[in-house]
Amino acid sequence: MGGAFKTGANSRGRLSVRPRAKAHDVSEKEVRPGVYEGYWTWKGHQIRYQRSGEQGTPVLLVHGFGGNADHWRKNTPELAKSGHRAFAIDLLGYGYSDKPDPKAAPPNTIYNFENFGDQLVDFIKERIGAEPTFLICNSVGGLAGLQASIVAPELVQGVQCIDISLRGLHVKRQPAWQRPFVAAFQRFLRETDAGKAFFGNVATERTVGNILRQAYGRKEAVTPELVQAILAPGLRPGAVDVFLDFISYSGGPLPEDLMAATTRPVSILWGEADPWENVTEGRRLFAPLPSVVEFVTLPGVGHCPQDEAPELVNPLIERFVAAYSAGGGGAAALAQVQASSARA
C-alpha cells in the first residue's frame, strides 16, 4: 500500500508524506470478542490499530522490533475489562501498517524514533480525542513512547517501559575501533542481496519460533498462534526493506537520554530472564533517574513479559495508571521530585 503515496524526509529526519487522495472515514470490525480493528490514515499511510473498551483512562500499547498490535492480544481486552480504553497500534512499517520504501529517502530517515514518536502523538490527537494517555511499551517501542512524551507531554500521562531496548548497536555503545566494521556490515546487508537472503532465512516458522523461544523465559508461551502473529506480517511486501533499514539504525537517541529528558513518570518492568536486554545494566542506567518512579523485575520472564506473563503485567499496568492518573497520589509525588530536582 505504501507505493500509493509520495514519501520524503525533512532535514531533521522526520517523515514528510503527501497523500494523493483524501483519507476515507475510519471503519472498524470486531476481530475478537470486544476487540475492534481499524485503519487510521497518518500522513498518507494506513496504520492498523486495535481497541477495546468504551470508557476510562486511555492506554496505548506499543510493540517492539518485529512486533505488532497482536503482541498485545492478552492485554488489550483485559485492560478494557478493568475499566480502560485500550488501544494497540502497528508502528509505521510494522504489522499490517503501510511500509513505505526506505530506499526512497536517506537511510534511517523514515524508520526512526522521531517519526514513531510523532505517530503516537498524532494517534492520541486524532483517534483518542486528544485525551491524555498512558503509553505502555515493549522493547524499542519504549523509545517511541518516551519520544512522544517529550514532544507532547500534555498528551501523555505516563510511560511504562517493558524490557526497553538498551540499543546495543548504537554507535555510542560500540568501541571506536569497531564502529567502521559494524557500519560496513550494516551497509552490506541493506544495499546488497545478502540482506534479503538473510531475511529470507529468518522469516520462516521454524526460525521465528526458535528466536521467540530464545527471547522468552517461559518457553510454553511460544505457541503456533504467536509464531503466526509475528511471522505473517513479516512476509508482506516491503517488510524486508523495513527490517534491513532498522537494523542499520545506529544513531538517534539512547533510552537513558530520553528518560532524563521526559517530564512524565516512567515505570520500568523487566523480565529477569531476558537474554537480549540485561536487567542489571538497565537498573544501573535508569533507576537513578528522577523520572523513573519504579523498577520492577519479573523472575523467570524474558523479553516480552506482556505476552509471557500477562497475569503479572496487566495488574502492574493498572497499578501504574491508577497511581499516576490526573489527581492520583503518585502524580503529586512525582511533581515534588521534579520540583526538588529543578531547585538542585
- Phi/psi at 262 (nearest 5 deg)? -70, 150
* pLDDT, the chain, mean: 90
DSSP 176: T
What is the average per-residue pLDDT within 138-155? 98
Beta bridge partners of 8: 16
| Structure confidence by residue, pLDDT tens digits, 209-223 | 999 999 999 999 999
Q: How far apart are CA 44 and CA 219, in angstroms?
A: 40
Q: How far apart are CA 70 and CA 121, in angstroms?
A: 21
Q: Which residues contact 94 (CB under 8 A, 6 or more apart)?
A: 63, 66, 67, 68, 233, 242
Residue 330 has pLDDT above 70, yes or no: no
What is the average per-residue pLDDT within 318-344? 67
| The predicted structure's pLDDT at residue 288 | 97
| Structure confidence by residue, pLDDT tens digits, 259-299 | 999 999 999 999 999 999 999 999 999 999 999 999 999 99
Of all residues in the chain, the percent with pLDDT exceeding 90 is 85
Q: Greatest CA separation found in the chain? A: 56
For the chain, domains (ranges, CATH) are 2-343 (3.40.50.1820)
Report residue 95's pLDDT band, with 50, 70 and 90 as the boundaries: very high
| The predicted structure's pLDDT at residue 326 | 82
What is the average per-residue pLDDT within 225-245? 97
Q: Which residues contact 325 (CB under 8 A, 6 or more apart)?
A: 57, 134, 157, 331
What is the average per-residue pLDDT within 167-196? 92
Q: How far apart are CA 97 and CA 38, in angstroms?
A: 11
SS (H, E, C) 266-312: EEEEEECCCCCCCHHHHHHHHCCCCCEEEEEEECCCCCCHHHHCHHH
